[in-house]
Structure 1
Amino acid sequence: MASFNVLFFVLISILNFSSITTKAEDTHFLYQVCSKYRFTAINTTYQNNLRTLLSSLSSKATHNTEFYNNTVTGKTPADTVYGLYMCRGDIPSDLCGECVGNASQRLSTNTECSLSVAAVMWYDECMVRYSNTSFFSRVTVAPGYPGYALSSPTNMTDQQSFNRLLYRTLNQTADEAANAPIGAKKFATKEAAISIFQNLYCLAQCTPDLSPEDCRSCLDGLINSNLPECCAGKQGGRILYPNCNIRFEIYPFYRSLQPAPSPAPSSNSRDKRSRSRTIILIVVPIAVVALLFTLCCYMLRRRQKKNSKTILRENFGGEGAILEGLQFDFSIIEASTNNFSHQNMIGKGGFGEVYKGTLPDGRHVAIKRLSTSSKQGVVEFKNEILLIAKLQHRNLVSFMGFCIEEQEKILLYEYVPNGNGGQQQKLSWDQRYKIIGGTALGILYLHEYSRLKVIHRDLKPSNILLDKNMNAKISDFGLARIVDIDQDRGETNRIVEYAMLGQFSEKSDVFSFGVIILEIVTGQKNANSYTSNRVGESLLNYVWKQWRDGTPLSILDPKIKEDYNQVEVIKCIQIGLLCVQENPNSRPTMGTIVSYLNNHSLDLPSPQEPAFFLHGGFMDPKTVAQESSSSHQSGKSSTTFSINEMSINVNYRLVS
């Protein structure tokens, strides 16, 4: 019976993962260019042919085809229409089909384009183009089809060094994309190190109908002519033309292109000629039974999937569709943790418990199980799931999925155990500095580069996850708030607006980041910062006094001893104090902070008194209302990154 249950569980799990529909995000319109030459009459032959063409493009895109061109021939050359689409090389087939369908619909109905004889439309995920003249296999450089450029508003600090790296990496990416033969996917990505905690990510793509020479020529024009005018020295940028496009960022914006692992070779290497009739008579009935059993499991899984969709619809409404690929069945989670056994528990807080487990496919997970009395309410739980699902930069957090079933509320994070028996690992200064820099980049992404502008509101060491290479990732978005952003940031008012409880701003995250820096440098927690009425108990007060007295290095964690960079330590202390200044308007932005960390030659301003160093020893009540809500949730973290005494229990580390 036990063996039967195991087999049943494995088959159910296989069907579960194979039948999940992946739809993690929507398509994002970028730009369109429509010809000024228009139809003179409604329902002309050309317009009818155009509708036929766009319908054929949309239909083809649903058949796992990343590039397709077609011609609808009219009775006269003037009635013939040519068109194609191309999806970004890392986009999954379902999202490609959705993008082409949306673009075709927009070209048919948009008042600016619907009567144009030629047009090109770009989405983040695809490009659709048509014209009354043939353009296949030719690079279009005519003024009627200008490109589109979009750059980051933030400059890199050391622009000269960054530009050298940028042009070198983009040219290498362009070479790789162009080397593909005609008809093959001409798409490539590359990564290069800017500094010890910052990387450059590049993408280049051409339409597959171009020859390698024409593709490279098209990309060369973008890199060497267009990029210097719009994007050189910026922290990110993209240039789109009808035949080719490039993009670069300081965060990974594209999906992994690594192929799935090959199936393990069969363990049965016996010569077929040696098989006896008896074995055949045994194997065939077993195979038939297994097939029938699998069919039953499949039907059962279909019923469970319908129930799962119902749960998503009830909890998330119309946005539940984007979460289907992240939903886990409770039975799988329960089995992976040995029914939430005490031996599998690795953490406990105000939210509930954290358990380690292993999924049927072998992945290790840390499971955050919210108790019925959790301080994180149902609204915050749902908001956290929606927010992470909408974020493009998945390296921010090691989030895998969630489960909602009856009274159960569960979040899944990837968990990497190690073999040191849970021994604590001392952190060097270089590792601490890397964590500071990585955390700064994560917050900058949330504030400036995410498709949703996010204020985290609960930044603290226990919400900074570390992977095996000590790369920092931001976690726990239960208190995060999304603020509306401009149309040119790629979002509209259809963003889910989370309940705004109290005042918050980017500067509240900056304040929290400043506290994190000072805790990392000193190796001590700012335990009483939010609750004490005595100034003497505040870590910020202590650091400020040493800074004011000209002895900043005296606060450095003694465990670091002599192995540290004095310039970096003093700079981090100064940045931390700048972040926790009493006046929020005096605190730097995260973009400025990243610039400070990247460039040792920059002169930093002198910090003023921190918020907790007030005459009389009390915080301003408005600041308390703004900052304290995150501290009241401090007991709910599921991670084990402990700044206190600057040690980390690496056996419990959650990583992506």
Structure 2
Amino acid sequence: MVARLKMTSFNMFVTTFVLAVSIWSSYLSMTNEATLDYAYHFCSNKTTFNPNSPYKSNLDIVLSNLSSNADRESDFIYFSANAGGVNGTSNYVYGIYLCRGDVNSTICHECVLASIEFARQNCPVEKEVIIWYEKCMLRYSSQSFESTMSEFPTVTMVNLKKASNEDEFRLKVEKTMNKFASEAANGAKKFMVQEANISGFDKIYSLVQCTQDLSSQDCTKCLQNAISSLPFCCDGRQGARVLFPSCNVRYELDQFYNVSAPPQTTPYLLSPPSPTDPLIKTKGKSKMSPLTTVGIVVAATTFSLALLVTGCRMLRHKRARDNYCAIQRQSANSEITTIESLQFDLKTIETATNKFSEDYKVGEGGFGEVLKGTLPNGQEVAVKRLSKSSHQGAEEFKNEVVLVAKLQHRNLVRLLGFCLEGGEKMLVYEFVPNKSLDYFLFDPAKQGELDWPKRHNIIGGIARGILYLHEDSRLRVIHRDLKASNILLDADMNPKISDFGMARMFGIDQTEGNTRRIVGTYGYMAPEYAMEGLYSIKSDVFSFGVLLLEILSGRKNFGFHLTNFAPSLLAYAWNLWNEGKGYELMDPLLKDSCAANEFMRYVHIGLLCVQEGAYNRPTMSSIVHMLKSETVSLSEPERPAFSVGRITHDHEHELAPDSFSDNGLTISSFVPR
């Protein structure tokens, strides 16, 4: 009986011990997973590589170098690596990682390894990749990005709880974070955390960090831009993060960072019992009494139960955390958390515009009026007050605003939000001070301000903005109303495409659409759209070609209206090209600043864009490449479409005048990319 008790007790002890080891291992696994929380990833489908190509070999070298450096005991927070022989070739790979400034080398190394594995699994053939984890970022590309500030893609993540006094809390958070952003930018690590007491609230814990390749000036600008975007994504929330490729910021009411990085340690694992353990004999009889054996079993069982309870609590906490992170990822994927995060109340708009004062008006059209305003945080905005004749429903209006707000690119005017209150429908945009391109381009008194370097920059910016809409955003967008008056210019004369009132969003595999209500601007519409209601990315290419020829010549396309017995600008350009006199198309104001060969190349690209057959027109990715490289050979253009309008008495087909938009938003569908 005693022998059976001893054997049973021993078996129970071993079983219990194995259970304890299993639970402890699970605990360590969950702890490690919590340490390496995934946040978001971005894989651009713009460029890909063949798995057997030299690019793949170079990428493996870069990732190996990054991984090796993250394992060092010092200077491991940031590292860059590149490979590929001749710098700048198509197979060259540039890569960096950035670990959070408060982690140790062990966590940094594990995080970089996890990011590399994630990239290989989820971005197997993409050349442009960014992986964000809680405590590190991995980035690689075929294009050099070191020492260049980048704010796209932008990812925002929020705590779902709101502060008690949202307006006051928002202002104090922004003020607190801006105070130490420049200090962090001037530090060697370009990283700083801060604990601050805010009157009326609990302590706020905040963190800012830049990649260490940025200059202090660029780092400061990057952090300030990230902080200034907090009110529009995460207004009044108890915690939020903004992730840019070049910097990131975060604040919480709970401490989420280490005050000082803990020393590097080796994870502790329970070892199996040693044969020399005095409690276990390999030979002879045990000298333990039954009472002692029972005591050991009870103690081991208690220990196991304690670990089991701890494990269950960890699992429950992990599930709760996963739910929270899943919501964060959803908001990061959409870049907008909820409709509430975009909605301005009427009082705020009235205060910003001095109750819609005439003195604040900066524009007017068929859609309504545009007023300049200043928000409580000092940011200048443009308020587009839509006309009362708009028949769009409130829910449809709000949903479409959310979709348009997802589009974020340096060459697109950013939609900040909307107001739908008191019978008003208003859109709130970033304020762009230099009005629109047509204000300068077609005014003899202003044309001189647009020398060739400025026009060159404007052309390239418009092309990149359209390329983003067509290929690089998570939505495939056809603008459908590209024209000089919809290209706004910022303080540095950089172009920003505006007015998405006629935009259409396509599915990833959709190539064209059809409409029975044709609305747009005469002179810019592709013939297949004006005549048949067919629109596609090639419709925007046509409009871009018209814009390009207008910028080169300084003349409006519809200034050559056929009823005035003069050819269109397209016909005029085509005739000059065929006669070998394309140089005569040049705006006389450009003769001292634009080389003849560069001008002729741009005319050539413009004529390729306005060819009558949509299938003959290049894509925007090809156009951007043509504009950047003089070595790309161009095909001979075919006859352009000289007339892009029609007369009809069918009221279901409508060709609207220049001021076309009755509600500012008429997006038909939304499919994520």
Counterpart of 2:20 (choices 72, 75, 92) is 75
Deviation at 1:472, TM superposition (A): 1.9
**Could you give the per-residue CA deviations for residues 432-455 of structure 1, whole angstroms, max 9, x where no partner exists?**
111111111111111111111111
> Could you say which structure has the larger radius of gyration?
2
State the match for 1:246 in structure 2: 138
Distance 1:80 1:324 in 2: 43
Retained in 2: the 8 A contact 1:358–1:364?
A: yes
User: How far is the alpha carbon of 1:541 from its aligned partner?
Assistant: 1.3
CA contact (8 A) 1:521 1:556 kept: yes
> Which of 31, 40, 56 is the equivalent residue of 1:124?
40
Matched, 1:434 2:457: yes
Query: Which residue number corresponds to residue 596 of structure 1?
Result: 626
2:129 to 213, 220, 237: 237
* Structure 2: runs of 5+ lacking an equivalent: 1-17, 50-54, 82-86, 144-149, 158-172, 180-198, 201-235, 237-333, 435-439, 518-532, 665-673
Output aligned runs, 1:93-172, within 5 Å. 124=40, 152-154=45-47
Structure 2 counterparts to residues 40-55 of structure 1, below 5 A: none
TM-score (norm 2): 0.51
- For residue 146 of structure 2, what is the aligned residue in structure 1? none
| Residue of structure 2 equivalent to 1:400 | 416
Residue 325 (1) aligns with residue 356 (2): no
- Structure 2 partner of 1:572: 602
Deviations 1:593-619 (A, max 9, x none): 011011111111111111116xxxx76
1:579 CA drift (Å): 0.8
The match for 1:556 is 586
Equivalent residues of 2:478, 2:540 under 8 A apart: yes
SS of equivalent residue, structure 1 residue 246: strand
User: 1: CA distance between counterparts of 2:121 and 2:397?
Assistant: 45
Residue 389 of structure 1 deviates from its aligned partner by: 2.2
1:328 is paired with a residue whose SS is: coil
CA displacement 1:417-442 (0-9 Å, x = unmatched): 59xxx995711111111111111111
Equivalent residue pairs, number: 427
The verdict on how the C-alpha distance between 1:416 and 1:483 changes in structure 2, with shifts beyond 3 A counting, is: closer
Cα RMSD after superposing both structures: 5.6
CA distance in 1, matches of 2:508, 2:516: 15
Q: Residues 174 and 205 of structure 1 are in contact (CA less than 8 Å); yes or no, is this contact kept in structure 2?
A: no
Q: Aligned with 1:152: secondary structure?
A: strand
- 1:188 and 1:625 map into 2 onto residues whose CA distance is 63
Give, in whole Å, the separation in 1 of the partners of 2:400 and 2:348.
22
Distance 1:631 1:503, change over 3 A: farther
Preserved contact between residue 454 and residue 482 of structure 1 (Cα < 8 Å):
yes
Residues 115 and 137, structure 2, Cα contact 8 Å, conserved in 1: no
Counterpart amino acid of residue 610 in structure 1:
P
Q: How does 1:284-433 map to 2 (within 5 A)?
A: 322-373=338-389, 382=398, 384-393=400-409, 396-415=412-431, 424=446, 426-433=449-456
Q: Structure 1 residues 611 and 176, CA, compared in 2 at 3 Å: closer, same or farther?
A: farther
Q: Compared with structure 1, are the counterparts of its residues 547 and 177 closer, same or farther at alpha carbon in structure 2 (3 Å cutoff)?
A: farther
Q: Secondary structure at the match of 2:466?
A: helix
1:484-499 alignment runs, 5 A limit: 484-485=507-508
Q: Deviations over 1:338-362 (max 9, x none)?
A: 2111111111111111111222221
SS at match of 2:534: coil
CA–CA distance in structure 1, aligned partners of residues 335 and 119 of structure 2: 42
Paired amino acid for 1:483: F
3-state SS of 1:211 partner: helix
Gap change, CA 1:576 and 1:568, over 3 Å in 2: same
Between the aligned partners of 2:451 and 2:59, the Cα distance in structure 1 is 31
Aligned counterpart for 1:211 among listed residues 86, 95, 106: 106
The 1:155/1:527 distance shift into structure 2, 3 A limit, reads farther
- Cα–Cα, structure 1 residues 220 and 534, in superposed 2: closer, same or farther, change >3 Å? same
Q: Say which SS state the counterpart of residue 409 (structure 1) adopts.
A: strand
Distance 1:568 1:417 in 2: 30
Residue 461, structure 1, aligned to residue 484, structure 2: yes
1:146-186 deviation per Cα after TM superposition (whole angstroms, max 9, x unaligned): xxx95634379xxxxx99x999999999999889989x9x6
* CA–CA distance in structure 2, aligned partners of residues 88 and 78 of structure 1: 18
Name the SS for the 1:609 alignment partner: coil
Q: Which residue of 471, 487, 490 maps to 2:494? A: 471
Q: Identity of counterpart residues, as a percentage?
A: 39
Q: Which amino acid is 2:468 matched to?
A: Y
Judge conservation of contact 2:156–2:336 (CA < 8 Å) in 1. no
Deviations 1:488-507 (A, max 9, x none): xxxxxxxxx99995432111
Contact between 2:342 and 2:402, CA under 8 Å: does it hold in 1? no
What TM-score results when the alignment is normalised by the length of structure 1?
0.52
Cα pair 2:576 2:584 within 8 Å, conserved: yes
Question: Which letter does structure 2 place at the counterpart of 1:583?
Answer: G
Decide which of 504, 524, 539 is 2:555's aligned counterpart. 524
1:463 Cα deviation after fit:
1.5
CA contact (8 A) 2:108 2:135 kept: no
